[in-house]
Amino acid sequence: MVLPNSVEFVIACFAIWKVRAIVVPEDTTIRPNNFRHILEETQPAAVIVDSNLAVQLEGMHGALDSVKVIFLKDCAFALSTLAGIAVESLDAVLQCGARATALPTGARPDEVVSITYTSGSTGAPKGVMHTHESWLAGAAFTRDYLEISAKDKIVVPLPLHHAYAFRQILAYLLTGGSVVIAADIYSALRLITEERPTALLLVPAACNILIDHFASVLRKADSILRYVEIGSGAMTPEGLNSLKGVLPDVQLYLSYGLTEARVGFLKPGPDGLLNKIASYSPGLQLQVVDSQDQPVAQGQTGEIVLKGRGLMKGYWGDPPAAQERLRSRGLRTGDMGRVECGGEVALLGRLDDVLKVAGHKISPLEVERTLNRHPAVRESVVLGLPDPGGIMEQELHAFVVLRTDAASSASELLAHCRQSLEPHKVPARIHLRASLPKSPLGKVQRQLLIPEHSTNFGPSEGNCHAGSH
């Protein structure tokens, strides 16, 4: 199912579940090769798409062998090369008022109801399987932690195919609350005034847009909103303080989760970083383990492992033995954690993001946090790229976006880094950019910066104003 944010998206999900089928939601910006991969792997009986995506189907012979019907949103036109597959108007079907008969019964809590594909940034996309139980566990935890009631109304401007957004809808439906679906963050601003919601769902990138360009409009929401939840990415302390300055009377919640599980919420640690897990879903076990799967001691660092209620059932196509290992051993998240005093866990970034430069292990997050503390910097990302001189295997490169109307230079930012970081953690080069490549949910797509290394980054030295390349 590939639909834009709409009521039809939600209705289609529940209709699919009503007949005990599995929904496979996808992003409307999906590329043809990924679309084909998912179709071939899941072998769907039906495809529900926006008319803009329908044209991709005509070139996918062989990937549609299992498809019996295609539902098109907004129009129903002839797909000339898809003989033998019925094509129906989704709008007409939803408006016909027909009632289904003899619906299947006997659904089980552990029955797979959705397959959500990961971004595939490290390879082919993987299908995350969730069940009735795992979806509802995450939704119930969200409802209880945020104290959502039937009086609450939330504006959701994020893509509904993403688990972070859809769990919010389920949490509100559990309480009888109201959900306002927005096409994007710009529509959300208008809907806040019109609908007067009590809650707003955001990601860090959307927060930056609102703070930099629409602060005066957002300030009007301070007397309307009860809370804002921010998830699907790290929020800097500086960014959170800026948002608090615009919305001083609104409660801000930062969530931590994966496509594989709705984990919990974050709070500031003693150093001010928003990386300490404040609470996580009941029934979900969280441990920090070493490479031998043994729990680490207080003060030690390891990998966060999740196990129990609320965790995915497995990856689509994995053998039963892999699913059993997931149940018994848990999911290695790839996130680094440190056990703090009292057993609390602090997030330290991704294991696969750790870089090795001149024999030193370096966390890009530490370098990014240092850069982000500079008053001219809005956001940054640090990568390890090949050393053109061949002296070291790789060197640090920082890609920096300046705040609106701010001015700085690479040399000034390097001097700022040298004041706080050891020499081996200071970037070899800083590249000032107008923006960073991001996913629809605002996550920086680091892998898209790597090919640019051999072409053109933009300036790495000299003065630069925000918005220049």
- Characterize the bridge pairing of strands 199-202 and 178-181: unpaired
Number of domains in the chain: 3
Q: Is 126 inside a domain boundary?
A: no
User: Has residue 86 got a pLDDT over 90?
Assistant: no
Q: Is 427 inside a domain boundary?
A: yes
User: Has residue 469 got a pLDDT over 60?
Assistant: no
Evaluate the CA torsion angle 379, 185, 166, 138 in order and state its sign. Answer: positive
Which residue, 107, 137, 156, sits at the end of a domain? Answer: 107
Which residue, 249, 271, 296, sits at the end of a domain? Answer: 249
Using pLDDT thresholds of 50, 70 and 90, give the confidence band for residue 78: low
Q: What residue type is assigned to position 37 of the chain? A: H
98-125, pLDDT tens digit by residue?
Answer: 776 777 888 899 999 999 998 644 456 7
Residues 235 and 176 in one domain: yes
Query: Average pLDDT in the 285-298 region?
Result: 91
411-464, pLDDT tens digit by residue?
Answer: 999 999 999 888 889 999 999 999 998 877 777 887 788 755 544 444 344 344
Q: Is 150 inside a domain boundary?
A: yes
Residues 160 and 93 in one domain: no
Rounded Cα–Cα distance for residues 313 and 315 (Å): 7
| Three-state DSSP state, 148 | coil
Contact in structure between 1 and 48 (CB atoms under 8 Å): yes
Residues 358 and 460 in one domain: yes
Q: Please name which of 230, 54, 52 lies closest in space to residue 158, comparing C-alpha atoms.
A: 230
* 395: CATH: 3.30.300.30
Q: Which domain holds residue 413?
A: 354-465
pLDDT at 339: 92
